[in-house]
Amino acid sequence: PLRTPPAAASSAATAPAAPSKPRSSARVLVLGGTGRVGGSTATALSKLRPDLNILIGGRNREKGESLASELGEQSEFVKIDTGNAAMLEKALEDVDLVVHTAGPFQREAECTVLQAAISTKTAYIDVCDDMDYSWRAKAFHEEAKAQGVPAITTAGIYPGVSNVMAAELVNAARSEDGEPERLRFFYYTAGSGGAGPTILATSFLLLGEDVIAYNKGEEIKLKPYSGVLNIDFGKGVRKRDVYLLNLPEVKSAHKFLGVPTVSARFGTAPFFWNWGMEAFANFLPVELLRDKDKVGKLVEQIDPLVRAIDGIVGERVSMRVSIPL
Ligand SMILES: NC(=O)c1ccc[n+]([C@@H]2O[C@H](COP(=O)([O-])OP(=O)(O)OC[C@H]3O[C@@H](n4cnc5c(N)ncnc54)[C@H](OP(=O)(O)O)[C@@H]3O)[C@@H](O)[C@H]2O)c1
């Protein structure tokens, strides 16, 4: 059986572990396993724990079966559409942990995978990067706890590791310098940062969302891709322009870490991608930027160009979490 996931961003880590489903080796379903983040997760898990049965869940059989065969006999492809609740529940009946990477999480009306995980008593973790989705997921806290289901939302790199960095920083500041007044998240990703096409859709969908930030304890709404700052990311990346985006760690840092002023900014390279993002935020109709299907079509057009430019700028990612003194 798997160990209970770490408590860092958990919504139900204090609850007893879900009753294990009797079998010889644990079964992990990686939803979105045909994609970049899910595929890397499945590969890393299989190296770390070769005894696990790793199921690659997604809609693309050809891609899924190809990865499953690379991972070996312990792995197989399972056809699943996250929009189909019955299909999800059936797949989860026979699984100990589901890792949900089948984004985009923006503009999703429901947490279908989390709900199916709770009803089938399956441990759950996702790499959500959307403010609304993460808070909707947290609303299932009591239900997950009552069922004894460990569930962690928003547990990727940023948000995810960045939240843990913020918690560490706030604790250190409290023990050394007193109460931190302001916390800022800065992110830089050259090109696509090696992520799949969904990350492009995510970026455009975020341009259709007002940015929620906190100023001296007050929630404020700001314009997406505004408020540029030039931030030093240190060796290898150095100074980069970063812009406001609506990201869930801002709200959780304010609510749970208790910091009065919090914001998150993101920037990319080459510099003209930033100009493009600014232009999209300023000139494209907001209804278009909030329409998943239309954004999906836009991404199909732009993705080949982004990949070509990735070849020139590389796929570097950097994070900085800062408390100004
Ligand atoms: N927190 C973080 O640090 C972080 C970092 C990177 C990415 N992310 C998020 O992680 C997610 C995945 O990113 P990625 O780079 O892996 O994208 P990707 O390569 O495009 O992969 C997404 C995968 O999800 C699958 N999928 C989409 N809708 C589905 C559905 N309804 N049912 C089943 N499978 C479905 C896709 O399969 P099909 O072939 O069937 O379309 C695809 O394999 C994104 O939402 C992204 O924003 C978070």
pLDDT tens digits for range 106-117: 999 899 999 999
SS3 (DSSP) at 30 = strand
Q: What is d(CA 222, CA 226) in angstroms, rounded to the nearest whole number?
A: 8
Condensed to tens digits (0 to 9), the pLDDT of residues 63-91 reads: 999 999 999 999 999 999 999 999 999 99
Closest CA to 320 of 161, 153, 152, 154: 161
How many angstroms separate the alpha carbon of residue 195 from the centre of ligand 1? 9
- Compute the Cα dihedral for 141, 147, 148, 150 and give only its sign: negative
How many angstroms separate the alpha carbon of residue 30 from the centre of ligand 1? 11
Tell me which H or E stretch contains 22: none
The answer, yes or no, to whether any atom of ligand 1 lies below 6 A from the CB of 33, is: no
Residue from 29, 31, 36, 37 whose mutation best tests the ligand 1 pocket (most atoms within 8 A of CB): 37
- In the predicted structure, residue 137 carries a pLDDT above the cut 60: yes
Q: Which two tokens stand for residue 179?
A: 């109460």
Is it true that domain 179-322 has CATH number 3.30.360? yes
For the chain, where do the domains classified as CATH 3.30.360 start and end?
Answer: 179-322
Q: What is d(CA 175, CA 160) in angstroms, rounded to the nearest whole number?
A: 23
The answer, yes or no, to whether any atom of ligand 1 lies below 6 A from the CB of 81, is: yes
Condensed to tens digits (0 to 9), the pLDDT of residues 171-230 reads: 999 999 789 999 999 999 988 777 778 888 999 999 999 999 999 999 999 999 999 999
For the chain, the average pLDDT equals 91
Residue from 198, 200, 205, 297 whose mutation best tests the ligand 1 pocket (most atoms within 8 A of CB): 198
How many angstroms separate the alpha carbon of residue 103 from the centre of ligand 1? 4
pLDDT at 195: 78
* Lowest-confidence region among 152-166, 243-257, 308-322: 308-322
Q: What is d(CA 236, CA 318) in angstroms, rounded to the nearest whole number?
A: 9
Pick among 3.40.50.720, 2.40.430.10, 3.90.1300.10, 3.10.20.30: CATH of 27-152 = 3.40.50.720
pLDDT at 8: 36
For the chain, where do the domains classified as CATH 3.40.50.720 start and end?
Answer: 27-152
The answer, yes or no, to whether any atom of ligand 1 lies below 6 A from the CB of 198, is: yes
Residue from 43, 101, 247 whose mutation best tests the ligand 1 pocket (most atoms within 8 A of CB): 101
pLDDT at 308: 87
The answer, yes or no, to whether any atom of ligand 1 lies below 6 A from the CB of 82, is: yes
Minimum CA distance residue for ligand 1 atom 3: 157
- In the predicted structure, residue 17 carries a pLDDT above the cut 80: no
The answer, yes or no, to whether any atom of ligand 1 lies below 6 A from the CB of 233, is: no
The answer, yes or no, to whether any atom of ligand 1 lies below 6 A from the CB of 196, is: yes
